[in-house]
Amino acid sequence: MIKIAPSILSADFAAMGEAVERLEKNGADYIHCDVMDGMFVPNITFGPAMIAAVRKHTKLPLDVHLMIHQPERYIDLFADAGADIITFHAEACTHIHRTLNAIRQRGIKAGLVFNPATPVDCLKYLMDSVDMVLLMSVNPGFGGQKFIPAVLDKVALVSGMIKESGYAIELEIDGGINLDNIDTVLAAGANVIVAGNTVFSASDPAAMIIRLRG
């Protein structure tokens, strides 16, 4: 089943509560929360306090995408804040297996993220430890960037690995998704679609969520 995960990076930060309530009413499946530290990526967004604030406005799963160095340092803080899924970057973490387990030990879903140019070979040793794989289709740091088509091959590759493993692992794609390319990423095997700019710049975000779902 396709899931749409609007990214609140493109929302009005001064009216976040209402934005999240509207997304829930408009049929979003997850709320995608982009945490950036100004080190792993050249931008700074928000931390656990925003997740806790958003938590009070929705029952939807909070899909927390950590774009931070050494994410293991912050698992407990984000779990305490109310994250339902925590994903972190393979490039930012030395002990991936340990960190995935630490997330699961908090009773929430654990996901691993790969930048567009990062190979996914390590996944074959981790299929029993991940609940989600997130493939970046832009270089992380900013909303509203252009989709990188070379990532499609990786989506198909990971989709095949997931099927072969037999585990119920979600395959999420993030960056530059719009009405022109969503069919291609779905055909390649992605099932969770992050959309920031496409949803928030639409004159009717509710209608856009429905159109993206197809």
Residue 195 binds which one of ligand DX5, Zn ion, none, with CB within 5 to 8 A depending on kind? ligand DX5
**Interacting residue with ligand DX5 among 47, 82, 116, 141 (CB under 6 A):** 141
Q: Which is nearer to ligand DX5, 63 or 131 (CB)?
A: 63
Per CB under 6 A, does 189 bind ligand DX5?
no
Output the CA torsion 83→89→92→93 (10° steps).
70
The CB-of-63 to Zn ion minimum distance in angstroms stands at 8
63 classed as catalytic: no
- Residue owning tokens 């293991």: 72
Q: Tell me how many residues contact ligand DX5 (CB under 6 A).
A: 22
| From 29, 34, 37, 63, active-site residue | 34
Q: Are 169 and 130 in contact (CB under 8 A)?
A: yes
What residues between 25 and 54 interact with Zn ion by CB under 5 A?
A: 34
Per CB under 6 A, does 134 bind ligand DX5?
no
Residue 108 region by backbone torsions, left for phi larger than 0, else alpha for psi between -120 and 50, else beta: beta
Nearest to 74 by CA among 37, 27, 113, 39: 37
Residues 6+ apart with CB under 8 A from 145: 138, 139, 175, 176
Per CB under 6 A, does 138 bind ligand DX5?
yes
Q: Tell me how many residues contact Zn ion (CB under 5 A).
A: 3
Distances in Å between the Cα of 18 and the Cα atoms of 15, 24, 26, 58, 79 are 6, 10, 12, 10, 23
The CB-of-164 to ligand DX5 minimum distance in angstroms stands at 27
Residue 131 binds which one of Zn ion, ligand DX5, none, with CB within 5 to 8 A depending on kind? none
Name the helix (H) or strand (E) containing 207.
helix 205-213
- Residue 25 CB neighbours (<10 A): 10
Per CB under 6 A, does 34 bind ligand DX5?
yes
34 classed as catalytic: yes
Chain contacts with ligand DX5 (rule: CB under 6 A): 7, 9-10, 32, 34, 65, 138, 140-145, 174-177, 194-198
